[in-house]
């Protein structure tokens, strides 16, 4: 059983967090709060119903308290990482990052779901989304292959950059793109799907 049905956004001091907040409101979610990462105490953190790791500046290693939090979370807890949050999940499970040759800031890209993501219906982050759609990108680092043993890549960009990954057995998902961006299609649907996990 979840400790509550509350959704907690871990805010990596990023202006996009407000947009995620507003997108959550549009989905009909009312029970959520924002936890500034600078005030995060993993040891005393009360486990909510689900967690969203927001976009933000820097690299995952700049936020050791978030790694400590991930270590204590129960395996049944849904977690969604967005941009930096996705990279945190990738690094937590042993993956590496690489620096893109071209910084993406407000860029649009087509992403393509892989066969695994397409097969998932009832418990998929991409339920009711097409095989390809446009997303907004704001990042200079990306997940690098090889893929961590516990994760599966679920989408890639038209340039072959990993755009999302899911844990093989846990409801843990990371997306490199910004569902809250006006550029992104199906952002509200993706957040709705996450809330249904």
| Active-site pick, 29, 83, 156, 173 | 83
pTM above 0.75, yes or no: yes
List the chain pLDDT tens, one digit each, 197 residues.
345 789 999 999 988 899 999 999 999 998 999 999 999 999 999 999 999 999 999 999 999 999 999 999 999 999 999 999 999 999 999 999 999 877 777 789 999 998 766 555 445 899 899 999 999 998 889 999 999 999 999 999 999 999 999 999 999 999 999 999 999 999 999 999 999 98
83 is catalytic: yes
Owning domain of residue 123: 7-195
Active site residue 180: yes
Q: Does a structural domain hold residue 156? A: yes
Evaluate the CA torsion angle 171, 145, 128, 134 in order and state its sign: positive
Q: Is residue 87 part of a domain?
A: yes
- Answer whether residue 2 is part of any domain: no
Give the domain CATH number at 68: 3.40.50.880
Orientation of helix 64-72 relative to helix 84-92, angle to 10°:
60
Whether residue 82 is contained in a domain is answered as yes
Q: What is the count of structural domains for the chain?
A: 1
With vertex at residue 59, the alpha carbon angle to CA 84 and CA 136, rounded to the nearest 5 degrees, is 30
Q: Which of 86, 129, 173, 180 is catalytic?
A: 180
> By three-state DSSP, how is residue 86 classified?
helix
For the chain, what's the residue count?
A: 197
Is 1 a domain residue? no
Catalytic residue among 86, 139, 173, 178: 178
């Amino acid at each position: 059983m979840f400790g509550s049905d509350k959704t907690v956004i871990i805010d990596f001091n990023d202006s996009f967090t407000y947009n995620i907040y507003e997108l959550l409101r549009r989905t009909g979610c009312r029970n959520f709060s924002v936890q500034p990462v600078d005030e995060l105490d993993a040891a005393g953190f009360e486990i909510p119903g689900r967690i969203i790791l927001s976009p933000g500046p820097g690299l995952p290693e700049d936020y050791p308290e978030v790694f400590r939090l991930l270590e204590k979370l129960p395996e049944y807890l849904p977690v969604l990482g967005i941009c930096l949050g996705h990279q945190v999940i990738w690094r937590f499970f042993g993956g590496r990052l690489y620096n893109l040759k071209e910084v993406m800031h407000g860029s649009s890209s087509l992403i393509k779901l892989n066969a695994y993501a397409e097969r998932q219906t009832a418990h998929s982050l991409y339920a009711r989304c097409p095989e390809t759609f446009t997303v907004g990108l704001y990042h200079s680092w990306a997940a690098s292959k090889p893929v961590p043993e516990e994760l599966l890549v679920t989408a890639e960009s038209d340039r072959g950059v990993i755009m999302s990954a899911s844990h093989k057995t846990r409801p843990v998902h990371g997306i490199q793109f910004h569902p809250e961006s006006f550029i992104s299609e199906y952002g509200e649907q993706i957040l709705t799907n996450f809330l249904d996990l």
